[in-house]
Homo-oligomer: A and B are copies of this chain.
């Protein structure tokens, strides 16, 4: 079974939802048969690279909150993150454009290091002081920590077309699948789970998707050359 998770590094509920999903997965009996793939979704695709704002400021502008209200909101998210055992800095975080991080995640996917990198990006954005925005050096260091070649990661960041199509393709697919928010979890392209649901909901979804795996429709079983336990189709045999 395959679970695809659309998310954005700038999305606190993606950070929390990933932890809840992983808790559910850890107790799922068929967890060794579950592959997880991370897909790109930008919360703020129109925000220019370099247009980085403190999260608290962004919240006051976006929701017309007072600064105290925005801080209380961040405290609320932080409490839910804390309940999942996640560190969450409720003050001093930045919000900005995440396209480069998504490009880097696709490079990491090609190198078999996506899971490592997304975990480090979340940790860096939500739990560490240094901003992940507008610093190739910071992203290169995280890429290297994820096991990627630092020079190759720097080259990806320096070329704005590198893996850009992969990011756009993920975002197009999200729209086709009906996802208009993240995190969005897709199980075997059959079941969808939207939002940072409780772990119990993910447990139920995994169980239901596993139980309802449908038999294949075999489009062409007859006649073609194949090999099996009894040997291969042999011309002239």
Contacts and interface: CB of A to CB of B under 8 A. Distances in A.
A237 B182 contact: no
Interface range for A: 35 or more
A40 to B, nearest CB: 14
A104 interface: no
Contacts of A153: none
A227 B65 contact: no
Given A214-B190, A227-B8, A229-B180, A235 B196 contact: no
B216 A178 contact: yes
- Residue with the greatest number of chain B CB neighbours at <10 A, chosen from A10, A196, A237: A237
Total copies of the chain: 2
A63 B12 contact: no
Given A17-B225, A184-B226, 16 more contacts: A13-B225, A13-B233, A14-B227, A32-B165, A80-B225, A112-B113, A177-B216, A178-B218, A190-B216, A191-B216, A192-B221, A195-B223, A195-B224, A195-B226, A198-B224, A201-B224
16 contacts: A10-B227, A13-B227, A32-B165, A33-B173, A43-B227, A72-B236, A73-B237, A111-B111, A112-B113, A178-B215, A180-B228, A183-B226, A196-B224, A196-B226, A197-B220, A204-B219
